[in-house]
Amino acid sequence: MKIINCEGLSKKYKDKKALEDITFSIEGTGCIGFLGANGAGKTTTMRILTGLAAPTSGKVEVVGYDVSKDINKIRKELGYCPQTPKFYNYMTGQEWMNWVGSMFDLDKETIKKRNEELLKMCGIWEARNRKIGGYSGGMRQRLAIAQALINNPKLLILDEPVSALDPMGRYDVLKLIGKLKNKMTIFMSTHIIDDIARVADKIVIIDKGSVILSDSMNEIMKKYAKQIIEFSIEPTDKNIVKILNNKSWVSKIDVDGSKFKITTNQFEIARTQLLQLIIDEKLSLISYGVSGTSLENVFLKVVGN
């Protein structure tokens, strides 16, 4: 089953086109990074997926149901954290979770069990009896995730979950997302590419209201990213250039004395075969290093500016 399926989704705010012909689909568990510059249309898409806004045209299905017909069925399977989660600051974390659980019509015993499990998983258990008003930004975000998980959702939608956090808060929330993504589908928007690079398995890039790329992280890096392996050997062996030139995993070789620079888009193969080659040819390796195209470069290349 497709967890998210958008076909030709468009959204207009009066005369302003926010989304135009958005088409992509998501299957299976894992973390999907929804990447786009400010104003690209991420929040609008997420609000439509959660039934908080209506599409102007197109088909949108979430966990197998049509958003325009079956939003109540969708909400039973969906967890959502808005960009700025709101709480009653006078409540404690535990009180808040009890209140959220009661809104889902869960019985007292289930709420108690589920809250303990979620507050522990999200690192709030120790602070559960403290007022939310005294929580740090990271704690509030983790409480928002715990709250969104109360109904054991198949799909968790997170709108910019780490953008407003300090490095420690970001680290904790990303670690939590990394843990959760094995059990459910997480659709997470951000404009911070590093965060996506850390946790995402698949990426959907949106620009000016249209999807410009949707693929697995592996495929994207294979297609757009080039890795460079730099090494130096002794003695300098000209024959090695000839051997390397015949290897399918070598895209380009630059030689500067005993220093070699290999560009490849088959990094894993290149890495193991190059080291084997150095051993087989009985060369002494003086230095070895790897650098490559970052996801940021890929994003800039795809977005085109």
Ligand X SMILES: Nc1ncnc2c1ncn2[C@@H]1O[C@H](COP(=O)(O)OP(=O)(O)OP(=O)(O)O)[C@@H](O)[C@H]1O
Q: Is the dihedral of CA 179, 185, 191, 196 positive or negative?
A: positive
Establish if 41 lies at the interface with ligand X (CB under 6 A): yes
Taking CB under 6 A as the rule, does residue 82 contact ligand X? no
Rule CB under 6 A: say whether 88 interacts with ligand X.
Answer: no
- Judged by beta carbon, residue 204 or residue 229, the one nearer ligand X is 204
- Residue numbers 226-245 binding ligand X by CB under 6 A: none
Cβ-based nearer residue to ligand X, 55 or 93: 55
CB of 189 to ligand X, least distance (A): 7
- Among residues 245, 246, 241, the alpha carbon closest in space to that of 258 is found at 241
Residue span binding ligand X (CB under 6 A) among the ranges 35-43, 128-136, 218-226, 267-275: 35-43
Nearest to 11 by CA among 190, 191, 210, 303: 210
φ, ψ for residue 25, nearest 5 deg: -140, 155
Site for ligand X in 189-208 (CB under 6 A): 191
- In the bound complex, what is the minimum distance in angstroms from residue 210's beta carbon to ligand X? 11
Closest approach, Cβ 41 to ligand X, in A, equals 4
The one among 26, 33, 35, 42 contacting ligand X by CB under 6 A: 42
For ligand X (CB under 6 A), the number of binding residues is 12
For residue 58, the minimal CB distance to ligand X (Å) is 15
Task: Enumerate binding residues for ligand X (CB under 6 A).
Answer: 13, 16, 18, 36, 38-44, 191
